Amino acid sequence: MTDTNQTEQIQEQNKLIAERRNKLQQLRDGCSANGHPNDFRREDLSSALKDKHGDKDKDTLAAEGIRVSVAGRVMRRGGPFVGIQDAEGDIQFYMAKPLQKESEAWQLLDIGDIVGGTGTLQKSGKGELYVAIEELADFRILTKSLRPLPDKFHGLADQELKYRQRYVDLIINEDTRRTFMVRSKIIETMRYYLSQRGFIEAETPMLQTIPGGASAKPFETHHNALGIDMFLRIAPELYLKRLVVGGFDKVFEINRNFRNEGLSTRHNPEFTMIEFYQAYATYHDLMDLTEDMLRTIAHTVLGTTTLQYGESEYDLSQPFQRMTMVEAVLKYNPEFDAQVFADPENHMEQLQAYAKQVGVKQSEAQKAWGAGKYITEIFEETAEHELDEPTFITEYPWEVSPLARRNDANPFVTDRFEFFVGGRELANGFSELNDAEDQAARFRKQVEEKDAGDDEAMHFDEDYVRALEFGLPPTAGQGIGIDRLVMLFTNTHTIKDVILFPHMKPEAE
């Protein structure tokens, strides 16, 4: 857009705003509510009226003389009809010409205004319900919209503007409204699913003195009253497991987490997860639970267990794939020597060469990497994006799983899984490490990595180790990324489209 065109658009918009402000002043002059009355009571919603009366023929409905009160935002007008949008759909008002000429509200009406009206429910020749206004006092402007809405056929053409002005996007874009209605239903169904199975919902601190529960760079802040630096939580894990120590055998939290990372189509620094923990269970139990829960959510929210995502279709009614991390690496790198991965700690040079070969980023932090870290980096570089079908990847190396229980048969790996769909990780779970001494040693290893330059490595949490010393029963835990799950269920390909107010750079002047 040229500067000239942009200037002309701004001038035209300012002109329209000035005209609407003038109309608002006329409304103020004509009432005692300063142009914003608050005594109208909506009694009916469009969807309920359509469900109850939509099948009635025109004459039957007219004979019944049903009086209704509806309210909403004006989205269209033509002749004697004004179409409004409420929280659940749309409906029309009708006002005959003689009454229109007397109605100040009708004369001052603009697209975007919020109106309320009471009248008789009727049906047009096209079979559409409308509310017939018969008295001047029965139709009112409740809120004057001072800014014109974008063209309803084109919406917000500027994608960035959609995120900055989500309120406008929600007004004019039905797909956006549907996405966030689906999001709400997913969370509601997930909460119900766990509650019905005996899980207790808890709330844990968002301000923490030690950031823990995940490997990520935290946001830092300062507590003035206590005089200490604190961190926004990166995960609630260590607090939820403290609750299991305390006797809450099944516990979950739907939480906001904060990680000081980059922005991308899959990452937002502030995001929503659900984490849940179950005593006397293993990571196998949670893989089974995850399959059943996702099928239940899909059936409840979408009415089907078949999901369309881009060009892929996923049938959640079928068993999900399961393979180990090493199996995945060898599947997508058939040229690699399997013997290297069968005995990785004695083949460090080959692992380092493979990592370099496939493009793993080289850094100073590599000095502290062991075989498990190299295998994980190779997996993430070469295999992760290939996992299109719903897949559990299991047996993560202990080195990259500081909170997971070692596998009894192979202590090099842990009883851990991550769940992938469409090449994206949606969930992470494991049998919890409840050996206090092993946990302390792993924290020390994380501290070494942090000292070597890894700013995502964990801190040493002495109080959590103390909690384990009181005894954590055999437990399995899991976290699921709500934002990415909503992306899957709504066929959405950028995380900003499923977060109501995603983080943006400050708006330019």
- Segment 171-197, tens digit of pLDDT: 999 999 999 999 999 999 999 999 999
- The pLDDT value given to residue 2: 64
How far apart CA 200 and CA 254 sit, in angstroms, is 11
Q: What is the pTM of this model?
A: 0.91
CATH of domain 174-333+383-498: 3.30.930.10
Place of tokens 């949670």: 286
Strands (E), 233-336: 250-258, 270-279, 306-309, 312-315, 321-324
> According to the model, what pLDDT value does residue 509 have?
57
- Give the residue ranges of the chain where pLDDT is below 70: 1-3, 32, 152-157, 509
**Cβ pair 251, 200 in contact under 8 A:** yes
The pLDDT assigned to 330 comes to: 98
Within 30-67, residue ranges assigned H as helices are: 46-53, 58-64
Q: What pLDDT, on the 0 to 100 scale, is given for residue 155?
A: 55
Q: Can you give the pLDDT at residue 152?
A: 58
* Residue 364 annotated as binding site: no
Answer whether 3-143 and 174-333+383-498 agree in fold: no
Determine whether the annotation assigns residue 418 to a binding site.
yes
Q: Which fold has domain 3-143?
A: OB fold (Dihydrolipoamide Acetyltransferase, E2P) (2.40.50)
Question: Tens digits of per-residue pLDDT, 90-123?
Answer: 999 999 999 999 999 999 999 999 999 999 999 9
State the pLDDT at residue 281.
98
* Whole-number pLDDT of residue 158: 77
Would you list the domain boundaries of the chain? Answer: 3-143, 174-333+383-498
Report how far residue 224's alpha carbon sits from residue 211's, in angstroms, rounded to the nearest whole number.
19
